[in-house]
Amino acid sequence: MKQVLVTGASKGIGKAIAIELGKAGYEIAIHYGRDEQGALDTLSQIEAASGKGRILSFDISNREQCKAEIDKDIAEHGAYYGVVVNAGITRDTAFPSMLGEEWDQVIHTNLDGFYNVVHPTIMPMVGARTGRIVTNSSLSGQIGNRGQVNYSASKAGLIGATQA
């Protein structure tokens, strides 16, 4: 069975993606950062549709933690067929009053998270001669949005990284 890692799969768009991929016959590695109950609900819905999944928890802004958890999951279950980079956060505020921490949190999660998740998955996918990588960006990354300078910058960077 082909496996897909979906980050941010405990709620919203990531949850919907994970459930639909599970219904389509993929085994889902359901990632969550803080919402364990949401991840359990995602797993329950996948299993209710006769799908398979498992839950992974790590902070996508933490490079070492990502690598350790992803390497462990790949060692136990094999290379992923696909990775959906969906997890992200917002810390909306007017730029003049934006704190450095608000900038850093969004950039480290939304943009660094791409590297932190994709980098340890890419060579196992290459070795398996398979792989699909899907990134979830935003219109804010293309045209910007007032009060979302940090978010827009992170999503624009994600678009560039995906195109490269």
The residues annotated with a catalytic role in the active site are: 151
45-64 in b/e burial notation, b at 16+ Cβ within 10 A?
A: bbeeeebebebbebbbbbbe
Phi, psi of 3 (to 5 degrees): -110, 145
CA-based nearest residue to 5, from 74, 80, 66, 57: 80
CA-based nearest residue to 7, from 58, 44, 41: 58
Separation of alpha carbons 81 and 92, rounded Å: 34
